[in-house]
């Protein structure tokens, strides 16, 4: 292009506007695709981010450099009382139950990431951010921080333990965690 379209003595540059029809097409087609994708996904997005269900299990997550703290209501079933239970690094939930996470950060931006659930949510200091999930398979799953949060970031790991209903009830009873299913 440098050689072909170089300045030549005695020849003026030619102004070219382009092709209006082509410009309209390459603007309209991607716009239509994005509008269609928005309309198809709007109800799913609303179900995930706007119309959050009441959780069968509610957990408060506190993210700090460089650890996950999970807080469960104690036998009284309420948060912020003397009987709250704190578990560091490990989140225990029952299978096939909706889990509501109330997430808070204490220092920097963290990102709660459970790859197996396709759940990733940034946690900001000074804000409570909610997310929910329903695990459909029992097991032990990795929970890394997905936001570079400081020099100990690589060690900020935790585990999600998805337990059968019976195992969860036994775990809750053993740890003094309120369990709405069993009435305590």
The residue extents of the domains of the chain are 16-51, 57-175
Cα–Cα distance, 27 to 160 (Å, whole number): 45
Angle at 163 between CA 145 and CA 166, to 5 degrees: 155
pLDDT digits (tens, 9 = 90+) for 119-150: 999 999 999 999 999 999 999 999 999 999 88
Sign of CA dihedral 104, 112, 41, 57: negative
Indicate whether 10 pLDDT > 90.
no
Instruction: Output the pLDDT for position 16.
Output: 76
Instruction: Output the pLDDT for position 4.
Output: 84
**Which residue in the block uniquely carries the two structure tokens 């029809």?**
21
Cα–Cα distance, 73 to 56 (Å, whole number): 13
Q: What is the mean pLDDT of residues 2-24?
A: 85
pLDDT digits (tens, 9 = 90+) for 21-74: 999 999 999 999 999 999 999 998 888 888 888 889 999 999 999 999 999 998
Instruction: Output the pLDDT for position 85.
Output: 93
> Lowest-pLDDT range, 6-10, 108-112, 115-119?
6-10
Cα–Cα distance, 78 to 168 (Å, whole number): 19
Domain covering 57-175, topology: Immunoglobulin-like (2.60.40)
Contact 70, 59 (CB under 8 A): yes
């Amino acid at each position: 292009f440098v050689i072909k379209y170089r300045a030549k003595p005695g020849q003026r540059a030619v102004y070219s506007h382009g092709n209006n029809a082509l410009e309209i097409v390459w603007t309209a087609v991607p716009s239509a695709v994005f509008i269609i994708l928005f309309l198809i996904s709007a109800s799913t997005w609303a179900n995930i981010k706007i119309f959050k269900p009441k959780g069968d299990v509610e957990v408060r997550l506190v993210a700090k450099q460089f650890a996950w703290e999970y807080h469960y209501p104690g036998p009284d079933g309420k948060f912020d009382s003397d009987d709250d239970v704190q578990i560091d690094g490990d989140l225990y939930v029952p299978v096939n139950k909706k889990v509501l996470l109330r997430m808070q950060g204490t220092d920097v931006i963290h990102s709660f990431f459970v790859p197996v659930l396709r759940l990733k949510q940034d946690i900001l200091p000074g804000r409570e951010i909610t997310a929910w999930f329903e695990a459909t398979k029992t097991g032990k799953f990795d929970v890394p921080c997905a936001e570079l949060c400081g020099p100990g970031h690589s060690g900020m790991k935790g585990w999600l333990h998805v337990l059968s209903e019976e195992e969860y009830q036994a775990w809750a009873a053993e740890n003094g965690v309120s369990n709405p299913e069993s009435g305590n």
